Amino acid sequence: MARQYFGTDGIRGRVGQHPMTAEFALRLASAAARVLAPTGGRVMIGKDTRVSGYMFESALEAGFVAAGMDVDLLGPLPTPGIAVMTQAASADLGVVISASHNPYYDNGIKFFDRSGAKLSDAIEEQIEAHLGEAAITRESESLGRARRFEAAIEQYQRFAIGTLPEGLRLDGLRIVVDCSHGAGYKVSPRTLTELGAEIIPVGCSPNGRNINAGCGSTQPELMRLMVRGVGADLGVAFDGDGDRLVMADREGNLVDGDQLLYVLALDRHARGVLKGPVVGTLMTNLGLEKALAATGIGFRRARVGDRYVMELLRESGGVLGGESSGHILCLDKTTTGDGLVTALQVLAVMRQSGRSLADLVAGMRRYPQVLINVKTSRRIDLAAPGVLREAVEGVERALGDRGRVVLRASGTEPVVRVMVEGESESDVQRHAESIARVVSAAG
């Protein structure tokens, strides 16, 4: 059965428009309870800082309690923190209310299982199959209870620090920390401060409507300027739900997810603890693949989306993977993408090696990439023989092993994404535009 509501990262949409309504959230909670805890159980609910989070929190709480489940309300906490708390409490289910890096007027709902992992496609399909049913309301003696779980931030902070080598400190480091006015606005600065770093906070004053607004991992310009302006050693910018990050070196140069993967992979390889290949996606920069190959580290590409990176890591026995956006999976440390844990892992490499962030990423050359989104009026078979296939093959021949072409149809809008990567920025731009014209003519 094709999923109608669940995408690659839960259910997401504009607040007030189906499915992001209070009524739907209540039915979703009831459907999830039917599938994952039919006889009652325990669920942890956390959220980011969007004003609509209160509404969805209340609706989900009502749905779960009515279905006989006990509810722990964690309040604002990064997505990976909710996964950690769910696993630590042996809860039947963890729920995240967040639309990640989207604007405040969007929101979303996603689930973790008792192991702190995202639900499988099959389980999400089972939940969807019950969405048309009326919400469960058990009799009074069978209702669940709800409580505020006040220790969630402290427990997650302890977990994150526990991923570091014992005794490692960050004294003497000056760090700009941009929390995107999002879920990590308390725990990320507190954690780094406790480890001895001097913190310059950015995006740490949420008001319900400023999440991801001109700040965070998708808009890191302010963080980069602050690093240079205050003479910091580096900067860290998280997204709204705290599961991804980008960094900046002391000159304000951006360090993206591919470069962070390079730093972590080389360190683990040098220490003999890297298992399996590193996993990226179809959009991962070719420079990472080549830099890892030069060191003898295997590399594989998954479909775009962290759930597909996770699937390939499990299949290949790997522990390290991620996306250019900064969604990094360190499965030797935690169960899901975690911006704070990733930042700590990179800071640990800096501390133990005595090298700056710029020095650590210097061994990876980023190849120029051009991405063009082409709107189409119909669905195009991108692999079918014809003019488009010939155009792509012509560019691939011109690039040889020094570049790549990726065509992807968007799963949510009538758009074909054309990505070309190579050594010369001007050549890459020219090739991308030539393919985009063919796609536009075909669509």
**CA 346 to chain centroid:** 17
Question: Each residue's pLDDT tens digit in the chain (443 positions)?
Answer: 567 899 888 999 999 999 999 999 999 999 999 999 999 999 999 999 999 999 999 999 999 999 999 999 999 999 999 999 999 999 999 999 999 999 999 999 999 999 999 999 999 999 999 999 999 999 999 999 999 999 999 999 999 999 999 999 999 999 999 999 999 999 999 999 999 999 999 999 999 999 999 999 999 999 999 999 999 999 999 999 999 999 999 999 999 999 999 999 999 999 999 999 999 999 999 999 999 999 999 999 999 888 899 999 999 999 999 999 999 999 999 999 999 999 999 999 999 999 999 999 999 999 999 999 999 988 888 888 999 999 999 999 999 999 999 998 876 678 899 999 999 999 999 999 999 999 999 87
Choosing from 30, 52, 100, 188, the catalytic residue is 100
Predicted TM-score of the model (pTM): 0.93
3-class DSSP assignment, residue 413: coil
Query: Which CATH architecture best describes the domain 255-361?
Result: 3-Layer(aba) Sandwich (3.40)
Say whether 369-442 and 255-361 share the same fold: no
Does the domain at residues 11-150 carry the CATH identifier 3.20.20.80?
no
Nearest CA to 211 out of 356, 48, 371, 322 is that of 48
Cα-flanking dihedrals φ and ψ of residue 141, to 5°? -70, -15
For the purposes of burial, counting CB atoms within 10 Å of the CB of 361, is it exposed (0-12), middle (13-18) or buried (19 or more)? buried
- Look at residues 304, 307, 330 and name the one whose alpha carbon lies nearest to residue 319: 330
* Domain boundary assignment for the chain: 11-150, 156-252, 255-361, 369-442
What is the distance between the alpha carbons of residues 6 and 29, in angstroms, rounded to a whole number? 14
User: Active-site residue 434, yes or no?
Assistant: no
Q: Which CATH architecture best describes the domain 156-252? A: 3-Layer(aba) Sandwich (3.40)
Q: Can you tell me the distance from the alpha carbon of 355 to that of 349, in angstroms, rounded to the nearest whole number?
A: 8
| Residue 218 CB burial class (10 angstroms; 0-12, 13-18, ≥19) | middle
State the CATH architecture for 369-442.
Answer: 2-Layer Sandwich (3.30)
